[in-house]
Structure 1
Amino acid sequence: MALVLLVSMVALSNGFLFSQTSSSQDSSSSQAQNSTDKDIDLLRKDVRSQKKQVIAANMNLSDKESEQFWPVYDQYTAELVKINDQKYTAIKQFAQNYDTLTDDQAEDLTKQALQVDQSVAQLRVKYIPIFAKVISGKKTALFFQLDRRLVMLIDLQLASAIPLVEP
């Protein structure tokens, strides 16, 4: 049930992300852009909270494991947020330039997207031994399975909300 709630929330927030970002290009007001950015930041925080709840519900951690796991998880999430900030920036650039996107801009955005993917993969590799120090190898594997599946659901919703580049 928590997973369904998370997917629904992400679907709503991602539609909001693209529609609000693209409509704010029509507004020359930086105040409107700041308001949109704040709304999107709140939605992203809500999604992270829901993700944490889904992970908590599925990890079956003991009290001792929880004490050690959650600080590492929070550190991992903080680093992941920084990477995802780059993804959000690229999506925002795409939305703002959608109607006038040049080949060079499209190529640059593609490189940015692939760099984000590489950074996320590197972060996961970095954190495998860190999580394995505080929980078992199987629970570490379970965590990364859950994390990847949730991120894939979020990315699927994002992809469905963002139009394809027009050649």
Structure 2
Amino acid sequence: MMKLIPQLLLAGSVLLAVPVMAEDAANSVNTNAEILIQKIKADKKLLVAANMDLNDAEGKQFWPLYDGYQKELEQHNQQVRKLIMEYAEAFNKGPIPNETATKLLRDMLSLEETEVKTKRAYADKIGKVLPAAKTARYIQIENKIRALLRAELAQKIPLAY
């Protein structure tokens, strides 16, 4: 599991913090980003598969739930990217005004709450088709990957001033 995590971390941090590019380069960037997104998804799925030890019956029930959760996480990641861009725009203008800081903080906390609710909902769904230990293992894998991505972002995103 640990062998793929650095690759996922690097690629995931690129996806979450992609800067806005000039329009003439946008098509190339979008194409490359889409290729990278598909590679990350495939690598992540391989990482999960290698660590879940699912039998055929479990796999038939788990993988559709996995795919649903990944779609929801992608929507969440798009919102995170949007919020990072809003923060970058505000940060680059100088000291962040109180009202902007309040909005950004509220939006960030709301995104975190939504992510926890989604994780809980999918843990419950997965818990109905897998034993508790395998459900916990899957959530641990997701948590580890997301924690590494958050750590990478935390290093790159400056503190508000």
The alignment's TM-score, normalised by the length of structure 2, stands at 0.82
The answer for the alignment partner of 2:68 in structure 1 is 75
> What is the CA distance between 1:81 and its match in structure 2?
1.1
* Contact residue 65 and residue 126 of structure 2 kept, 8 A: yes
Distance change >3 Å, CA 30–CA 148, structure 1 → 2: same
| Counterpart residue identity of residue 86, structure 1 | Q
> What is the CA distance between 1:107 and its match in structure 2?
2.5
* Structure 2 unaligned spans of 5+: none
* Contact residue 12 and residue 149 of structure 2 kept, 8 A: no
Quick check: 1:48 aligned with 2:41? yes
Distance change >3 Å, CA 16–CA 142, structure 1 → 2: closer
| Counterpart residue identity of residue 58, structure 1 | N
Quick check: 1:21 aligned with 2:16? no
The 5 A counterparts of 1:59-138 are 59-100=52-93, 102-103=96-97, 104-138=99-133
Quick check: 1:153 aligned with 2:127? no
Distance change >3 Å, CA 114–CA 35, structure 1 → 2: farther
Distance change >3 Å, CA 40–CA 92, structure 1 → 2: farther
Distance change >3 Å, CA 133–CA 61, structure 1 → 2: same
> What is the CA distance between 1:54 and its match in structure 2?
1.3
| Counterpart residue identity of residue 73, structure 2 | L
The alignment's TM-score, normalised by the length of structure 1, stands at 0.80
Distance change >3 Å, CA 60–CA 16, structure 1 → 2: closer
* Contact residue 15 and residue 161 of structure 1 kept, 8 A: no
> What is the CA distance between 1:162 and its match in structure 2?
2.1
Cα distance in 2 for residues equivalent to 1:84 and 1:16: 9
> What is the CA distance between 1:152 and its match in structure 2?
0.5
